[in-house]
Amino acid sequence: MEDLEIIIPVKNENKNITRVLDSFFYEVKTKFTVTICFDDYKDTTIPAIKKYDRRQQFKIKLLKNKYYGINGAIKTAFENSSSKVLLVYPADDFFNADKIDKLNNLILNKHYDIVCPSRFMNGGVMYGCPFLKAILTRTANFIFYYILRLPTHDATNGFRIFSKKTINTIDLELQKGATFSLQLLVKAHRKKYNITEIPVVWYERVIGKSNFRIIEWVLPYIKWLIYAINTVLSIK
């Protein structure tokens, strides 16, 4: 088993996944495995993986989500992993594979518990985001960083790396929406874990539909906003 496992939750990503895997092949020097976690055996990602012509270059596992939704897929992958470092990577991100070696090094050799790729720190960029989504994302992250003192400018980014030791101490609750990154961050922050960030470039999805759903996700996000507020109050 490689020290680094890259976890990619998918839903019909046949038009994106091979390009993402190619970016790993060309950019990542660290030895790694990839876990593709899917909800349904009819998912179009599965045949694309089986036909992928570089499958012999690194190990790719197909894993059925035993829960539901994105949080469930990631929880399933966490529970099935024995790797020391767990990286959750978006299925449509063609641009940040060159950051993976640095992220892995920060966990393994610099002994951080969580490293947060950030669109909003110096050097980070967000391109092409729809206006309303951009306003909500920037406002939420302003609150989390400047008011609630989370140790990253980008608390909501779904691209994130963890030590397995950290994951073993935090329960990932099942919810609608992709709240896993915020949920794990606020819980780790309360435990005073060692967290840092690096800048990344983020582009809005160009192939397929975004899973971003304002109405469905707002209540779960509010729950973790309140959790972070309570952490600040307890520190005071």
- Residue-level pLDDT at 200: 97
- Which of 91-94's residues contact partners 24+ apart within 8 Å by CB, and which partners? 91/8, 91/9, 91/10, 91/13, 91/16, 91/17, 91/20, 91/45, 92/13, 92/16, 92/20, 92/205, 92/206, 92/207, 92/208, 93/20, 93/159, 93/202, 94/16, 94/19, 94/20, 94/23, 94/203
Please state the domain count of the chain. 1
Burial per residue of 27-62, b for 16 or more beta-carbon CB atoms within 10 angstroms, e otherwise: ebebebbbbbbbbeeebbbbebbeebeeeeebebeb
- Residue-level pLDDT at 176: 81
User: What does each of the 236 residues of the chain score in pLDDT, given as a tens digit?
Assistant: 689 999 999 999 999 999 999 999 999 999 999 999 999 999 999 999 999 988 778 999 999 999 999 999 999 999 999 999 999 999 999 999 999 999 999 999 999 999 999 999 999 999 998 898 899 999 999 999 999 999 999 999 999 999 999 999 999 999 888 899 999 999 999 999 999 999 999 998 776 665 555 566 688 889 999 999 999 888 65
Cβ distance 230 to 152 under 8 Å? Answer: no
- Residue-level pLDDT at 216: 66
**Residue 179 is part of which domain span?**
4-235
> The domain that contains 130 carries what CATH number?
3.90.550.10
Tokens read off for 121: 């720190």
Ranges of H-type helices in 28-159 = 45-50, 69-79, 100-108, 131-142
